[in-house]
Copies of this chain bind each other. A is one copy, B any other.
Amino acid sequence: VRDSIRPSDNPTEETSGSGKSVPARLLSTAAGLFWSQGYANTTTRQLSRELGLQKASLYYHMEKKEDLLYSICVESLRHTLSRARAEVAKATSPRSRIQALIRGHVTSTLEEKDKHATMLTELRSLSPDRRGEVVALRDEYEDFVKSVILEAQRSGVLREDLSAKLLTLGLLDLLNWSIFWFSERGELDSTELADAFAALFLDGAVVSPDGIPSNRGGA
């Protein structure tokens, strides 16, 4: 966690002008650029231009360009993990815990689309040490998802002919990569998308045996 950029190292900056501290603007602006152009293709010149600063001024807030990428990855994963944990804690049955997990994951990643997408695609641009730290965080989240799946398998809700590992990775693929095509102006908003994914993951794409929707009990 050393060398990271934090949104509010100094609380007094928070109230100045635009409402967002420079470090926070730095991270979100960087995430926008990294996501649309790639980390390596984004120059510090571009970044400083978008922030209305001189290139050299960036180095008051960071030590290296890579610090930005590292902080973006950590923030994104912490955000998703804590949201997913909170949602799951509120749910009361194995099936509804899975629905809650999906809703927490989808809404939190779409809220921080740029950061989450950057984390997903640019991990390999981090130094080995930091990549290791981020991968550990990612594994922590995957383990959490897997524990929710496993509980549902043990209680007879989910099939056991597909391993918990496969169900976990398959579910995360389904959820994560929707940021590539999800649009705020599309047919669904983020909670509707989450519920559609939950229906697809749980019940599959095939029509239910007799039109009995096994979808009773929203939350």
A residues within 8 Å of B by Cβ? 36-41, 95, 121-122, 124-125, 149, 156-159, 161-163, 165-167, 169-171, 173-174, 176-178, 180-181, 187-188, 196-197, 199-209, 214
A165–B193 Cα distance when bound, in Å, is 12
A205–B41 Cα distance when bound, in Å, is 40
A197 CB to nearest chain B CB (Å): 7
Contact status A203-B202, CB under 8 Å: no
Taken together, the copies of this chain in the complex come to 2
**Beyond A38-B40, A40-B41, A204-B204, 13 additional pairs, beta carbon < 8 A:** A36-B124, A40-B40, A41-B125, A158-B205, A158-B206, A159-B208, A169-B181, A170-B200, A173-B174, A173-B180, A201-B204, A202-B206, A204-B206
A181 CB to nearest chain B CB (Å): 6
A157 CB to nearest chain B CB (Å): 7
